[in-house]
Structure 1
């Protein structure tokens, strides 16, 4: 009897196919990495006015702290794929469609000012936070308001689809403040509403408020007030369906932090003059981010 005759016919027939399938699976990249390689293009989602994280400069080119970090991640992805060239394309997103852009594969990385929280992790994944901030309030310079409770009976705007909007809505109900909460389609519109008197204040991550004020024609007409309403770990967003891609991105973020390259990128956007007006935000790295970066991880408390 031949050696192969010791095994049933079905095993002799099916086994080679199983081996081939396993080999193919082991050789294939994850779905997003495979898509990037086959297209030769990495799509970066960016924002229009999330200064200094992700916004358009005077030439309508995407720039910012998060964009620069994403370009570093693109180099790591290129190296992982073993390709000689990888084209970068940009897709502008809003707070309303940014999560869908990643979940539906329209973009590969979302490079902006998006908070990593449990609700969003049901749809997408996040890498190591690049900033930790909290929601405060922008008001006109002549406003007497200094705390949230003083918005009682007044109009407070926030950007649709953001965590600060949910936070002020919750605080309004819990504290029975009777604040008239308004929704703006984007950060730029919310600032205009405050400047024009259409709203008495704008609730948003304080670092974004400082950036938005710096970009106004007359920054002295606006100010940031109040204590932190929330703590927001901001992180680059990616697909939750490709652990290989997440591993590459997480490893590169940790390398950038441990090598202090990330600190240099931070200094470029928070301490030095930035477009479009070439003014500096002069925002030193806060203690929350300094402490978090001592042991960088994608795990956040919320």
Structure 2
């Protein structure tokens, strides 16, 4: 007995057509992607460079990575997930230091870094930078009892800074230009530098003003230290990603610009700089400056050096 082949229902036909169209569209979308976004789409993972002790920007609080710029980074990751249409996107945090963050970016060991990286003209030959999310002065932290108030007071003395930073370059230039004969030590990370100051292996720790305020505020004896010195210069922090990646630049800047012009960035700033922060509930008491307010009103990616 012969049976006629069952004809597919209209609903089944429609579902097959819809699935085929979706797959075709998804494939076409993937083919249109390039650079970092293509890499993230294909792997389902974003490699996020994080700092361990850049308080209050990106640091480990005993449970995970937190901070002002870490929050910005996670907002960017969320936008990447939405842009790529992914139901899930794994975030793999990779600890970086001032010395290795650029090589790790160039070697694709990280895809994005929003910590406390200064955007300088020199670094533009090695990496791409987003719109700035923080503007600051370069100063120093010293023991209150040291009698040191400005950089000429450091002549002939041991001074510490963090290796691979723009601050190290500024400090060494000052040493040569002003013939100060400082004994400059460059250490692995900010926490190592502050430890050198606390243990009297150096009389001053020269670094970005908000970083040294962070160490002062979180020390068990904050009144033992003072942040001082005529600024060596003014600089900006930005997120960092690989050069020549226009789609990534557009996405990252879009997130930062929306945060800044909507008021979200100022609210985020207040959380991390004017209120108690983890893990010890210390308040940095570092109000928003006029320069920062102007930056939020007019987002830009200009280096200040």
Q: TM-score, normalised by structure 2?
A: 0.88
Q: How does 1:185-196 map to 2 (within 5 A)?
A: 185-196=188-199
Q: 1:301 Cα shift? A: 3.9
Alignment of 1:277 onto 2:280: yes
In 1, the alpha carbon distance for the partners of 2:29 and 2:242 equals: 19
* Contact 2:116 2:238 (8 Å CA) reproduced: yes
Question: Match for residue 51 of structure 2?
Answer: 47
* Contact 1:131 1:289 (8 Å CA) reproduced: yes
Q: How does 1:230-245 map to 2 (within 5 A)?
A: 230-245=233-248
Question: Match for residue 114 of structure 1?
Answer: 117
* Contact 2:30 2:38 (8 Å CA) reproduced: no
* Contact 2:236 2:304 (8 Å CA) reproduced: no
Alignment of 1:222 onto 2:225: yes
Q: 1:26 Cα shift? A: 9.5
* Contact 2:265 2:296 (8 Å CA) reproduced: no
Structure 1 counterpart SS, 2:49? strand
Question: Match for residue 37 of structure 1?
Answer: 41
Matched residue count: 279
In 2, the alpha carbon distance for the partners of 1:256 and 1:185 equals: 32
* Contact 1:30 1:245 (8 Å CA) reproduced: no
In 1, the alpha carbon distance for the partners of 2:201 and 2:142 equals: 12
In 1, the alpha carbon distance for the partners of 2:264 and 2:134 equals: 15
Structure 1 moving runs of 4+ over 3 Å: 23-27
In 1, the alpha carbon distance for the partners of 2:294 and 2:101 equals: 28
In 1, the alpha carbon distance for the partners of 2:34 and 2:292 equals: 31
Question: Match for residue 142 of structure 1?
Answer: 145
* Contact 1:55 1:64 (8 Å CA) reproduced: yes
Question: Match for residue 248 of structure 1?
Answer: 251
* Contact 1:134 1:232 (8 Å CA) reproduced: yes
Question: Match for residue 133 of structure 1?
Answer: 136
Structure 2 counterpart SS, 1:128? strand
Question: Match for residue 201 of structure 1?
Answer: 204
In 2, the alpha carbon distance for the partners of 1:28 and 1:110 equals: 24
Q: 1:92 Cα shift? A: 0.4
Structure 2 counterpart SS, 1:44? strand
Please list every run of 5 or more consecutive structure 1 residues that lacks an aligned counterpart in the other structure: 1-22
Instruction: Select 2:175's aligned residue among 148, 172, 176.
Output: 172
Q: 1:241 Cα shift? A: 3.0
In 2, the alpha carbon distance for the partners of 1:154 and 1:68 equals: 38
Q: TM-score, normalised by structure 1?
A: 0.89
**Change beyond 3 A, Cα 1:282–1:98:** same
* Alignment RMSD: 1.6
Structure 2 counterpart SS, 1:161? coil
Structure 2 counterpart SS, 1:236? strand
Q: How does 1:56-67 map to 2 (within 5 A)?
A: 56-59=60-63, 61-67=64-70
Question: Match for residue 161 of structure 1?
Answer: 164
